[in-house]
Structure 1
Amino acid sequence: MSVCRPVRCLFASASLPKPPSAPKRSFHASAPRAARKRRAHYPSIKAEDLNLLNQAADTQYPKYDTSETTLLEKRYTPAQIAAIKAAETAIDTRDLVTQSQRRSDPWLLPYEDDLAEVDPVTDHAEKLDIKDIPGNKSFREVNDVERDEAITLLANENLAKLFPDGIPEGEVSEDTVRQLEDAMGTALTQAVLDPRATMRIEDDRVAATLADPRYSMVLPDLPRIENRMVRQTRRLSSEEEEDPRQKRLLQYLDWDKTKLRSIRCKTLVVHGVTNQTRMGKIRSLYYLTIAGNQDGLLGVGEGKSVEPEEGRKQSIMSAIRNMRPVPRYENRTTFGDLEHKVGATKVQLFSRPPGFGLRVQHLIFELARAAGLQDLSARTPRSRNKMNVIKATWEALCNQKLPDEIARARGKKLVDVRKVYYGGSVH
């Protein structure tokens, strides 16, 4: 063996050529990890972008100026003013722009923050006594001429509230004519019931208090006369003859027929039952129906009758009456995994990512579609009785533990940081 070869290999600058390796076949459609571009977990905010956030926060949530503070002091107590200022100081308006979002669920209150405003649905004006009226309270009864003039004046004022742009003139539709006739009748009735039409008071301040709803048994505002039962009676009197059960349901829910038709109803279980009596066996049919508006409401109802159509109607009305809200995460799936047991039946529901679909059995599929769920999977490891599966699924969906409730029970504060981590792409 020659000694030159190891020396030549030691002092050689170029390495020996490597044998060509066999190409590796990729079985994945995506690019290899080395070719991917690393993305930051959250977007870094630059100084100019931060200035834009400050401008947007100042535009959407402006600070109180001196005139607004003066108006607030007339309505709220000093302690409430101090609490409002402390809350405004503690909350960062930039966080409201980047992380918060306005509610759009069906259970949203009709007003946002001004809870001091009297609402005819949730708030009731506090009644005041005659001792709270300042000034001279002596009055006299009016004669017929003064009474007619007062009724005419009050009726015109009430019509001006309903038609601020003036009474429509020229060729109008039948609905407008009917609405105008109803408004005139309501305004005239309100004017007759107004105490200012039957008595005359010399003191103007005392006369002005008669128009205050806190002193009157019949509140003078027209929307308070137009209550729910009056609207329901007028609507049902103009409609055709219908099922008495459906009429009671409309009065109970304060709905019309159009909203009732939008409810999705489906009968899932039908079987015959027999009742043994001293007169023999009496056979009847049992129906189990689900109802939902496909936007967060779901109900289950049962019905049983000798007549098939009667039992089915009974189950439908019961399902609509029993509708309860179903919490939905991002309006598509449940808040985490759920498990519920009814009898010997156990139902396990699992939340899934967007686009997963409803991969469940047919009974749970109909319940999820009626409630407005889009991504869900389920298992029924034990008994698969149809009635128990439906009831267990319904109770599991309606009795979910929300993250807000869990955080409140633990004494924590729940903050939604998805808009920060995912750059605002939250569906």
Structure 2
Amino acid sequence: MSVCRPARCLFSKTPSLPKPTPLHHPRSFHTTLPRPARRRPHYPNIKASDLALLNAAAEESYPKYSTSETDLLRKKYTPSQIAAIKAAESAIDPRDLLTQGQRRTDPWQLSYEDDLAEVDPVTDHAPKLKPSDIKGPKDFREANMVERDEAIAQIANENLAKMYPNGVPEGQLSPEEHRKLEEAIEVAMAQAAMDPRTVYYSSNPKAVESLADPRHSVVLPDLPRIENRVARQTRRLSTEEEEDPRQKQLLKYLGWDKEKLRSIRVKTLIVHGVTNQTRMGKIRSLYYLTIAGNQDGLLGVGEGKSVEPEEGRKQSVMAAIRNMRPVPRYENRTIYGDLEKKVGATKVLLCSRPPGFGLRTQHLIFEMARAAGLQDLAARVPRSRNKMNVIKATWEALTSQKLPDEIARARGKKLVDVRKVYYGGSVY
């Protein structure tokens, strides 16, 4: 047997041994993720060349007040108001308006662009004026031929100025432009002839202008008033509304007001018919199961049954609000650890999840978690999925959690906040 091969294998380089696999670390009891070393900016970076173009576009779209505009503002606003306007203008960056601002596209947008400082005679309802609003004498007489011709000429010129804001075209005109000009003159003369200012004459110009002002029209309706006699008769105040006796008793029991009661989120999850066999026959009624929560750590479940549908639903709603109990929440978003609860043949498993996980549960547990104010939760129902038992088991599991403070106190240990010790107090 040759000894060369064993010697060659002995003095040759030994192959590297495989690296041992890292041990599997157990799951940390802390549900939040560690803070990353570098966070991405919320806004994309802008180059200097693009910034110059952006500044130019912003100055063109949102120019600053000129001297003439500032003089006009001084006639309407006080110096303190002008200073406030300038401070607001300097606080708003026109580049942000250009990049982040957008025009409204909702159905409630105005059909025209206006600052709403003045009444638009086309789109707005003009307020009705009284004879006392006309200053000076209000005597009229029928105009003679000379006064009528002067008034027609003046009103026709005003109408032509509205049709041609840049002036009436002069010089050599094309046949089409000449025809349009003749039609405009005919329309202006016809409107002037039908204007009441050409029929009557007064020494007070304000009185003459009131003849063509629609605000002095007799058939113009008044602006709607809220505090009038008809509105007071047809409207009921909130204090005069008919109250349900059960609701009044519930408010007295809880010590709440109506505004706080309206903030409670209520939803009926189960509705089905039941039958009670008596010696008088079968009595059919409806069963309701309702949940109620303030979306901030309170959750309740109530049941109601009645022959009348609305009566049974009100019973379940009042019972759910009356049965609300606190739900402990870790970081105001999830539960403390994993929970398990069994009601009848139904078993519910609830698991806490990190931020941004969401509510990945079935629809009944989803509605209960949303009413209680939970944001990150996972759930499983491995056995029977009876709806009533699922709701009751989830409610009992959420309201009977064991807090870390209670466990530490029972064991005689000291509870340390991991966030403050290892992460400098940062939650996310």
* TM tier, smaller: 0.3 to 0.5
Which structure is larger by alpha-carbon Rg, 1 or 2? 2
Structure 2 length-normalised TM = 0.44
TM-score of the superposed pair, with normalisation by structure 1? 0.44
